[in-house]
Amino acid sequence: MLEVKNLMVFFENALAINDLSLEVHQGEIVGVLGSNSAGKTTLMNTLSGLIIDMKKKEDRRGGERITVLGEIRYEGQEITLIEPYERVKRGIVLSRERHPIFPDSSVEENLKIASVLRKDQEIRKGMDFVYQIFSHLKEIRKRKAGFCSGGEQQMLSIGMALMTKPRLLLMDEPLLGLSPILQKDLIRATKQIRKEGVTILVTEQFARPLLPAIDRGYVIENGVLILFGTGRELMENPEVKAAYFGV
């Protein structure tokens, strides 16, 4: 479904992603693990196309020079230079780390805003889907998003991404800042989203809760791929245990 070949991303002369290749097959949950500044967010911005907007803004103001090399293929077609909105139309949707919400609008209004390009009957189906995955959001649907807890806002941000009807959902560090209980709930929801036919690529630095849920995983450091394997293989790998489990 998604194939990344020899991806390199430069910010001026700093190399953020270094010759990275990975694959995501349809129906999988694939994890990309790494510590802070490993290149996870840069990878997600590049796959979603946001890096193109970032590059344009920097070029206009004469700021940092951004260079992307390599190849990104989605369903057999190269999308490396395709605009982010075109990728959304094709079903590639990013739920960003600390995804922006509309704090003065209610939970339900946020979901409707995210589905602005969908028809009324599709919006209703989309909201039913989100409330099925995150039943707590239905209970607080009239609450202003700005008054929601961090965990509730994280559920809402993923719900907003789901309202666009993704085929490939990119999730950038969804567990960041959540309690262990909420992390467990979010992992459960991720599995449920996959059962509904959505393929998922998720980045995380919290390997322990994520590894049992993924089919395959990649470990990156300083933008370089250092390990890959199934979730079980990574859980049993001594290097992963030492780096992420303190064992």
pLDDT (tens digit, 0 to 9) for every residue of the chain, 247 residues total? 999 999 999 998 889 999 999 999 999 999 999 888 888 999 999 999 999 998 888 888 888 899 999 999 999 999 998 999 899 989 999 988 766 788 999 998 998 888 876 677 778 888 888 998 888 889 998 999 888 888 888 889 988 888 888 999 999 988 887 888 888 888 988 998 999 899 999 999 888 888 888 999 999 998 999 889 988 888 888 877 777 665 4
| Helices 150-162 and 120-133: angle between axes, nearest 10 degrees | 140
Number of continuous H segments (helices) and E segments (strands) in the chain: 11, 10
Give the Å distances, CA to CA, from 66 to 3, 24, 80, 167, 172: 22, 25, 14, 28, 21
Do the Cβ atoms of 154 and 186 come closer than 8 Å? yes
3-state secondary structure of 203: strand
Q: What is the pLDDT of residue 87?
A: 92
- Answer for the pair 235, 244: CB distance below 8 angstroms, yes or no: no
Q: Say what the pLDDT of residue 179 is.
A: 83
Q: Report pTM.
A: 0.88
